[in-house]
Amino acid sequence: MVSWLRFWFNDLLCACYHPPRPKYSTSEFLDLLDRYIEHNILAQDVCFILAGDLNKLNAKQLEVKHGLTQMVSSSTRGKSVLDVFYTTRPDLFYVEVFRSCVKSDHYAVGINLSIKCAEESTNGSLECVAYALVI
């Protein structure tokens, strides 16, 4: 299952679940992701995010070809990193793995996005934006 979400102006999130035993060709699925990422990253200056549970899908070719950085470095289930957060802008995110507050055999992945203060508001103060997401 793949869902695409465009937010802000040029930012694109791909939320993805790849089952442990898919009923589709894994190589065709990777090719489809590759083509879509290539089309959207080359067409625009985007902050691209691929996040979700990939269940040991080898996405190394996507990481290398599109300059993605895998931000999850701790195991998310047992000793494996099954849940991922790839991005073209690792400088914008801080990722942390922690025990989920809901019953699950996966750990939760927390993502913090902090956009640096860029402009002064009309009253002279700096305005900053910070977002948090848990997958």
Divide the 135 residues of the chain into consecutive groups of 10 and give the mean pLDDT of each group: 64 86 92 87 76 87 91 85 87 86 83 62 51 52
* The model's pTM: 0.77
Tell me the CATH number for domain 2-134.
Answer: 3.60.10.10
What is the C-alpha to C-alpha distance for residues 50 and 83, in angstroms, rounded to an integer? 10
The arrangement of strands across the sheet holding 129-134 comes to: 93-98, 108-115, 129-134
What is the C-alpha to C-alpha distance for residues 9 and 24, in angstroms, rounded to an integer? 33
Among 66, 133, 64, residue whose Cα is nearest residue 96? 133
